[in-house]
Amino acid sequence: MANYYRRKKPDAVFLNAKPINSANAQAYLYGVRKYSIGLAERLDSDYQPPPIERKKSTASTGSNNPEFTPSVFYRNIAPVNWFLRIIGVLPIVRRGPARAKFEMNSAAFFYSVVFFMLLACYVGYVANNRIHVVRSLSGPFEEAVIAYLFLVNILPIMIIPILWWEAKKIARLFNDWDDFEVLYYQISGHSLPLHLRQKALYIAIILPILSVLSVVITHITMSDLNINQVVPYCILDNLTAMLGAWWFLICEAMSNTAHLLAERFQKALKHVGPAAMVADYRVLWLRLSKLTRDTGNAMCYTFVFMSLYLFFIITLSIYGLMSQLSEGFGIKDIGLTITALWNIGLLFYICDEAHYASVNVRTNFQKKLLMVELNWMNSDAQTEINMFLRATEMNPSNINCGGFFDVNRSLFKGLLTTMVTYLVVLLQFQISIPTDKGDGEASTNVTVVDMLMDSLDNDMTLLGPTSTAGTTATMRAAATTTTMATPTVKQGRAGRRG
């Protein structure tokens, strides 16, 4: 094994430590981080590093060292990013690695504003027609709920201005990922291998097609198909679906990075275990933990609104489906089923991927640390391992939406539990509404008698036994007479007409 050495670094290591200047990629590859596993494997195989070429232009790491791949995270989620920018979302200008900004005087923001204004006018026209449909309803309660469902589907238009408000935090998140990739390269000796580009490309192509098909089928089965009114629903449904896919890819990137980091750390301990190396991996983990928390904070209000919207739309669609199943499975139930399953799947993947990312960043890394053998390490390395383990305990790695709630599987379970409660209330309300108009008079007479008898039973405690019995007999006779007299009056009127 080659004798690895490194330059002395400051003793204090802070969470916001910046990586070495990317212009000195060859320097920190062959002089600073010589304990990295990538270089260790090369030296074990008698690898001879190429001579360092001094160039006048050192603008980026990629220009000096072709082995370093900058902006891996941004390149992997780029297909979904571009789709969101086409529909007027995420007006972020990015001129290079760690140079993403939100500028109100940029062409991207101007395009986003124009697209939003045109879409708002279109949505206003469609909403006006839907309001007229709701006002003209005279059917049962469940039909009114289905009509309101089309009005609720318009609400995602509010996500666009919310994302404008959060664009600065999202741009800062992209820049932090670029800094993390450089730091990962400095410590591990290779670029961050995410391999999500192909998956993101498939999502950006297939998901919009499925979204448009679901909207068209829903309008065919639940209302008259009007192309002029279907177009804005397709855009808004694509907006929610692609935001869910965007969240899925970000959480998947964090999960893969945490898994890779744990594997590299465990492999590094098998080769050599200096205390400085453990400290560097601890800083790298702290940066990844910070990225996990910043992901929830950067898209706080967007996904709070998304969670409430999905909860509302799922509740209405399932209620409409259950209220009509008593009459058999009809054509309208096809659209309601597609709407319910589509939104349940979207909510599940949002919660499940965030839960999986949090577990990989914290829990799985703690398992790796607990399995480390400390007997053969010196006291400094053991101290760093203990500090690393304490850092994983003290630094939360949950994806939290600005303090409102943690995005995990418990959120999905809690929303479903609340949803069941509201469905029971709505179904009880539907059952209590009389549906047969022919039984209206009889039900009214029975209700009057029941009210009289309930009132009499409540007053029995205030009256004596004798007077109560007499009064009860008198009231029952009067109620019976009233009930029996009604048909007689109707027959008399019928005879007069005859």
Q: Give the whole-number percent of the chain exceeding pLDDT 90.
A: 34
Token pair for residue 99?
């140079």
Q: How confident is the model at residue 354, as a pLDDT? A: 92
Q: How confident is the model at residue 210, as a pLDDT? A: 93
Q: Say what the pTM is.
A: 0.73
- Banded pLDDT at 76 (limits 50, 70, 90): very high
Mean residue pLDDT of the chain comes to 75
Over 90: is that where the pLDDT of 205 sits?
yes
- Banded pLDDT at 253 (limits 50, 70, 90): very high
Q: How confident is the model at residue 115, as a pLDDT? A: 95
Over 60: is that where the pLDDT of 43 sits?
no
Token pair for residue 280?
């560097």
Q: How confident is the model at residue 59, as a pLDDT? A: 37
Longest C-alpha distance within the chain, in Å?
A: 118
Over 90: is that where the pLDDT of 238 sits?
yes
Tell me the pLDDT tens digit for each residue of 360-419: 888 887 887 777 776 777 777 778 778 888 888 887 788 988 888 889 999 999 999 999
Q: How confident is the model at residue 142, as a pLDDT? A: 65
Residue boundaries of the structural domains of the chain: 72-432, 442-497
Q: How confident is the model at residue 447, as a pLDDT? A: 42
Q: Which residue has the higher pLDDT, 163 or 397?
A: 163
Q: How confident is the model at residue 432, as a pLDDT? A: 67
Burial of 24 (0-12, 13-18, 19+ CB in 10 A): middle
Q: Which residues of 252-268 are buried (b: 16+ CB within 10 A; e: fewer)?
A: bbbbbbbebbbebbeeb
